[in-house]
A and B are shown apart, each in its own frame.
Chain A
Amino acid sequence: QKEVEQDPGPLSVPEGAIVSLNCTYSNSAFQYFMWYRQYSRKGPELLMYTYSSGNKEDGRFTAQVDKSSKYISLFIRDSQPSDSATYLCALSGGYQKVTFGIGTKLQVIP
């Protein structure tokens, strides 16, 4: 079993839809949870960073962590074509070793 599981997609949604992206994990030592966005032919860029359980909101993006279920989510409201990218979850126990999901490819159709 992989430490981090993420559905690779692709996920296609119409413009304006609410998008839900998810990862599950098995290592209970993970305390820091991140989401990266990667456009085609570009490096991943940090989108959201959360510590422990709970929600964090930044504009149209909300990151949610449920440590009891070992489940993390990224919600995108009012999705735009410019949100079309691959989204990678990243988890860490706080010792600089970061484990990445394989990424979910999202396409927002105008």
Chain B
Amino acid sequence: DADVTQTPRNRITKTGKRIMLECSQTKGHDRMYWYRQDPGLGLRLIYYSFDVKDINKGEISDGYSVSRQAQAKFSLSLESAIPNQTALYFCATSEAGPGTDTQYFGPGTRLTVL
């Protein structure tokens, strides 16, 4: 079984709809991240969480919110989806501690907002 799973894998929705993307991990890592990937722009950090009670905004958090339900679960919500949120979304995890910057990614969710 995959260490980092994301659901759904694909989603098509309409402008104004609320969408939730879910991420679960079995790696036992404390730190979890949400990124979006766009052609020509690469991976951009939306939100990150260093533990269940610690949530931080990334470089592009406007229009998004997150919830860390447990060490293993981190959800990303689009409260009112808009077309420029069409992208590939990735969840990632990492261990805590110095020199542990390697991140482990899920398979991604392809989101299309019409």
Contact = CB atoms under 8 A, between A and B. Distances in A.
Contacts, number: 50
A60 B8 CA distance: 35
A73 B12 CA distance: 38
Q: How many of chain B's residues touch chain A, expressed as a range?
A: 20 to 34
Q: How many of chain A's residues touch chain B, expressed as a range?
A: 20 to 34
Interface string A22-38: 00000000001010100
Interface residues of B, dominant DSSP: strand
A13 interface: no
Interface of B: 4, 31, 40-43, 45, 48, 50, 90, 92, 94, 98-108, 110
Interface of A: 8, 32, 34, 36, 41-46, 49, 51, 88, 90, 92, 94, 96-98, 100-103
